Structure 1
Amino acid sequence: MSPSVMGATGSGKTTFINLASGSNLRIGRGLKSCTSVVQIAQAFELDGRSVTLIDTPGFDDTTKSDSDILRMIAAFLATAYQSGKKLAGVIYIHRISDFRMGGISTRNFKMFRQLCGESSLRNVVIVTNMWGEVSKEIGEAREQELITQDMFFKPVLDKGALLERHENTAGSAHRILRSIIDNQPLSLQIQRELVDQKMDISQTAAGEELNKELKAQMEKHRKEMRMVQEEMREAIRTKDEETRRELEIETTKLQSEMARIQQDAQKLASRYSEEKEGLEKRMQELSQSAREDAERAGAEYRRQMSALQAQLDMTASTSAAERAELIRRIDELQNRRAHGGGVH
């Protein structure tokens, strides 16, 4: 089972994964992101099932643009889907300590919905965490608002998603994972769009949502630029040099931001293929390395078994205790091999 964990920067995704899996993935401090790439935690066993958690960056990363983030997540999900891997569930983490679900959180959740699509929502768990940072009354009031307001989690919960509280313990993380462990794995909307329908990333629902957001930002900056230019003309007319210099600085900032937004929109489509090709190459290298490790382990297993069997054949006349010890070592080696352990 391989659930993906999503949410805003600083929401506690990586901490949740480390608690659940015993991994040591890097954790950002405050709102600084360390998860600027997709990270895969070490596999662990839960109720007899192997679980591998996938840590994804938020769409408010401090080091990468939203276009970069979408491109990375999309390339990873598409590559996994092409390899025959579907997600048993998606966990979306939200801080109950947030005073309100502001613009950044709302944008993250919108992008999350477009990535998943409607048909996979029954495999989604929304997890509220950081309950220790608010009183019980405040936390429960915020939870109620998230559940009942159409602009928050209600539409997703109505379509089968679950809502769970995380108590910042390994036991709590495992309880949440048990709610999806038996799910029938489903493909996400962006996986079907990119792989089955062969869409360009900018044509996907998530790509269109991001482009809509970029267009809104660009229009906002254009309005600001018009206002600054009007103020600049007035400053020149009145020979107000100090105001003119301040407005020149503001103009440069706006021009830089508008250029960044335009570049983000162009990069989304142009660099997705490059990202995916690089990821496919890395996955092929990992598969090859795993095969080579398995071949080496198999050769070592055969060598050790042969040596132990030869010793056993030579001890027909020795003590029962020595024969029993050799048989025990053969059994131990076979058991380790059967359970995927290394040969030492």
Structure 2
Amino acid sequence: MECFMNLFSEGEGRRPLGITVTEDKTLASVGLTYLDEHDEIGFEMLKPKDQDQKIRHTIDPTVEDLHGALEHLCHYYYHRDRADEIRKEPVTIGEGKDKTPFSSKFTIDVFTLEENDEEIYMPSGPNLNIHGTGVELTVGPHNEDDMYGFRIKNNTKFPVFPYLFYFDNSDFSIKQLSKSLYGNTIQVLKPSFKNAFIKEYNITLPGPDKESLTLVDLPAFEDSNIYNHVSVLKAIVAYLGTQYQQGRQLSSLIWCYNISKPRFTIVDGDNLNLVKDITGPKAIKNVTVLTTNWNKGATVGANVAKPRTVASVASSLQRYEKAESQLKTLFGTGVTPVTFERFGTFSDPAARKAMLDGASTVDPLELIRSLLSNKNEVLQVQSEACETKKLSGTTAGNRLRAKLELEIQKKRQEVQELIKELEDMAEDDTERKAIQEETVEAGQDILRWKATLENIELVGSAFTV
């Protein structure tokens, strides 16, 4: 191929390639094939263990495209084989004969994930990482939509920060699966006030003006447990109501939402309603929805498989934009001026451009600065708490009360069905005791929920946690 010959003969200031050219296929890892009918260059996996993997991507027969492809191959094999060298010469810890490979102090389990009733993904089935074999998966129609999770156990006495990458030999891409959040040295802010639910941070912004502010970390609903919802709401209402009585008002509220989540869950909907119930129609103009993790859909480094890479990034971008549009609809942004901002950390400018298509992400510091100019507004939940003194007297509390009443109604129906099942069951049925225990437990749930309902109706319940 002329472009291949020119690649090594032309001095165009290109970076040198760390490759060895051979005509012996048994010594090569990857072969180049010229496709006459398409006037394109294809790739062929030559190692026996890789030959079942077909590479569908091709490039144009130009020096520039060939150099880019080979450079990417060098990048891929360098990092893949470097990992092999580390395994061959493992770092050891200990003294004398007691030295053990450092890697032996860690275990990595891989599981299929299944979504439970609370829309949380949990490990399901056996550990797929079989000792001595590794993980072998055959992907087909029966499991192509499965999700997988990793559990890494550190058996050393010091912290270790994992970085997980996926080496895909179908397109020679290296994708970042997980990046440690704690691998960098950062200044840790200590709260000036905290309780079981709320934290306050006194912050002085950098710059000549030395602007200062108080950042309040409010809790959110993290699961579908109704008792946890009551505790979270009581903490928020009590704190905000007390702050209002003391003459302190909040200038803005930021709700952070992970845009890379696979779907908008029931708990997400509960939190969205919580934001609207806290602020009310007057103060909602001071709400900023900060959608995070826009970088999750981008690949790491350059990628020779341009058709697949662009499709992958575009797919993620389209999914994220669809999720953002859904949030805007749920907030009713055509009526209420809720501000939306995007946040993501991109180490690769090319990935940033491909992922955001020219759109910008907000700098957190600049976002906070801009919010300082907001006009303070009394939050709806503050005025409601001070007027009624009852948790159920707030819009958020009233929504929670309705949810509790619905749960009690469902549980009563469940008790009736269990009683009917007991009536139809023989006295010596082996399942009878279990059904009786389930009936008693359901009845106790009803009593607890009724007590909770009575509690949030009490005067003063808006200011007790």
Which TM-score band applies after superposition, normalised by the shorter structure? 0.5 to 0.7
**How far did residue 58 of structure 1 move?**
1.4
State which of 362, 368, 379 in structure 2 corresponds to 1:177.
368
1:39 aligns with 2:205: no
**How far did residue 175 of structure 1 move?**
3.1
State which of 262, 266, 280 in structure 2 corresponds to 1:117.
280
State which of 399, 412, 415 in structure 2 corresponds to 1:225.
415
1:52 aligns with 2:214: yes
1:129 aligns with 2:311: no
RMSD, matched Cα: 3.5
Check 1:21–1:92 CA distance in 2 against 1; reply closer, same or farther (3 A cut).
farther
Check 1:252–1:274 CA distance in 2 against 1; reply closer, same or farther (3 A cut).
same
| Contact kept? 2:384, 2:394, Cα under 8 Å | yes
* Structure with a larger share of its residues in helix: 1
1:65 aligns with 2:228: yes
Partner of 2:454: 266
For residue 363 of structure 2, what is the amino acid of its counterpart? S
| Partners of 2:372 and 2:421 in 1: CA distance | 60
1:194 aligns with 2:385: yes
**How far did residue 179 of structure 1 move?**
3.8
- Report SS of the residue matched to 2:364: helix
Matched pairs, number? 250
| Partners of 1:20 and 1:84 in 2: CA distance | 34
> Which is bigger in relative contact order (C-alpha 8 A, separation at least 6)?
1
Q: Identity percentage over the alignment?
A: 21
Range with greater deviation from structure 2 (111-120 or 260-269): 260-269
| Partners of 2:388 and 2:427 in 1: CA distance | 58
Instruction: Name structure 2 gaps, 5 residues minimum.
Output: 1-119, 121-180, 299-312, 347-361
| Contact kept? 1:147, 1:154, Cα under 8 Å | no
| Partners of 1:173 and 1:252 in 2: CA distance | 52
For residue 130 of structure 1, what is the amino acid of its counterpart? N
| Contact kept? 2:388, 2:459, Cα under 8 Å | no
State the Cα deviation string for residues 47-80 of structure 1 (Å, max 9, x = none). 5321211111113468963222222111111111
State which of 154, 173, 189 in structure 2 corresponds to 1:23.
189
For the pair shown, which has the larger CA radius of gyration, 1 or 2?
A: 2
Check 1:260–1:139 CA distance in 2 against 1; reply closer, same or farther (3 A cut).
farther
Check 1:21–1:101 CA distance in 2 against 1; reply closer, same or farther (3 A cut).
farther
| Partners of 1:157 and 1:125 in 2: CA distance | 15
| Partners of 2:315 and 2:440 in 1: CA distance | 43
1:141 aligns with 2:307: no
Range with greater deviation from structure 2 (109-118 or 175-184): 175-184
State the Cα deviation string for residues 11-39 of structure 1 (Å, max 9, x = none). xxxx9xxx9995156xxxxxxxx984111
| Contact kept? 2:252, 2:286, Cα under 8 Å | yes
- Report SS of the residue matched to 2:269: helix
For residue 364 of structure 2, what is the amino acid of its counterpart? A
| Partners of 1:157 and 1:127 in 2: CA distance | 18
- Report SS of the residue matched to 2:375: coil
Check 1:147–1:96 CA distance in 2 against 1; reply closer, same or farther (3 A cut).
closer
